[in-house]
Amino acid sequence: MASQLKAAVAGATGFSGCELTRLLLRHPGVDTPVLFRREAEGSGEKKPQDLAAMIPALSGHGPLPVHPFSWDALEKNGTELLFLATPHETSRSLVPEALTRGLRIIDLSGAWRLRRPEHREVYDFHDADPARAAALSEKAVYGLPELHSDCIRKAKLVANPGCYATSVILALAPLLRAELIDRERGIISDSKSGVSGAGKEATSKTHFVSVADNLSVYAPFRHRHVGEIVEQLGLQTEDLTFTPHLLPIPRGILSTVYVHLTHPSKTADIESCFTAFYKGRPWVRMFSAPTLPEIQFSLYTNYCDIGFCLDESTQRLIVVSCLDNLLKGAAGQAVQNMNLMYGWPEEEGLQ
């Protein structure tokens, strides 16, 4: 890699932004990124902070100054690619200007993931130019490499998928493409996430006292990732029952997905369906039945681990999908998308 990519991370102090910074610092194709706080952070503080001092795990790279967001700083650095690990509303407001300035963008928020207006309603966006925002929503590429790698390579705006959505979509896509799922009997996804999936800002529900030694359900029937899942899989909202749970662990996702099959299949048929669909996809790792993935297997990696169990007598199928919500569910997938956009192997900087 003769010349290094000039990149910047807005929102570098959050969980996903910090993971992304760590990955970019060791990526051979990327220069030391310019780092910005979330726009809402430190609005009265103009002096840069040292991310390495704030996050000691990043020590060893020298000072890592984190600045208030600035278009001038981006231009001065010659930035080509802007990562947004910012709140949804902030990303929604920054992207139009960034595209006007000729930047390519990978947005880790939910600002540009959804095509259907009825699904975007969950975010209650207030766009300065609604017509332009709607047009950008149509042009944004959903950044799931296993489904959209060709489009990602050419994209100006990549909407990095949600963590839950990644786990469920990858569990179901091969089966739906093969028309093996009986949609009329419904699809159930029972999904569980570590606390970092809720973001860095603490709430009463993510406080240690609430989470420790506990397991809780939240946002049944109305989680914002449902729109992503049904749009990407060509489902109707009523086809899917998605129930998220909060686990008393820092990171990781496990989705258990229940479906009925359309016609009699053997365990070998299901395994062949998955292995053929994900052939050549380096970050999906299939487990042969009866072995099932566990959260601990994929932690601190960019893998999505998938396994299944088929009851051949009733044609009920359970698919288990596990990933690290901060890596394949956020920062690692963002780097995987960057690799595609700039012609590098998908594994670059992620192994």
Catalytic residues: 163
Q: How many of the other CB atoms lie within 10 Å of CB of 314? A: 9
- Structure token pair of residue 246: 């909060």
CB-side exposure of 92: number of CA atoms within 13 Å? 20
- Structure token pair of residue 190: 């029972």
SS (H, E, C) 9-77: EECCCCHHHHHHHHHHHCCCCECCCEEECCCCCCCCCCCCEEHHHHCHHHCCCCCCEEECCCHHHHHHH
SS3 state of residue 244: strand
**C-alpha to C-alpha distance for 177 and 161, rounded to whole angstroms:** 20
- Going by C-alpha positions, the residue among 346, 345, 342, 347 that lies closest to residue 4 is 342
CB 230 within 8 A of CB 165: no
* Omega prior to 290 cis, within 30 of 0: yes
- Burial, 185: exposed, middle or buried (Cβ in 10 Å; 0-12, 13-18, 19+)? middle
**C-alpha to C-alpha distance for 242 and 220, rounded to whole angstroms:** 7
